[in-house]
Amino acid sequence: MLTLLGARSAAASAARGGRFWFHWPLLAVIALALSGCIPATTQVASADPADPAAKVARVDHRSSIAPYTSLRPATPAPWRDRNDAVAPQPKQDR
């Protein structure tokens, strides 16, 4: 595959005048040489997730419906009494 690609590149550069036929193999060699300088893996986390002895934070159960209160309709009551029950108390003069 690479030989065929090199032959096509050489033929194309020969048709252009033959000046740049040597660039693509040189670039391939440089790319292969530089790929050896890249580390194989990088450390993303401090602990290996596959390690069964790794320390992890404790998981506690928290109910998602614990503060629930029923919102059923209230029994009818006079609106003035209900309004007075939740209204702020008037301040007394000194």
pLDDT at 20: 56
Task: Tell me the pLDDT band of 29, cut-offs 50, 70 and 90.
Answer: confident
Q: Take residue 7 and report the two structure tokens written for it.
A: 């032959």
Task: Tell me the pLDDT band of 76, cut-offs 50, 70 and 90.
Answer: confident
What's the CA gap between 2 and 10, in Å, rounded?
12
pLDDT at 16: 63
What's the CA gap between 6 and 12, in Å, rounded?
10
What's the CA gap between 88 and 64, in Å, rounded?
33
Mean of pLDDT values over 54-64: 85
Of 72 and 41, more confident: 72
Whether 53 has a pLDDT exceeding 70, the answer reads: yes
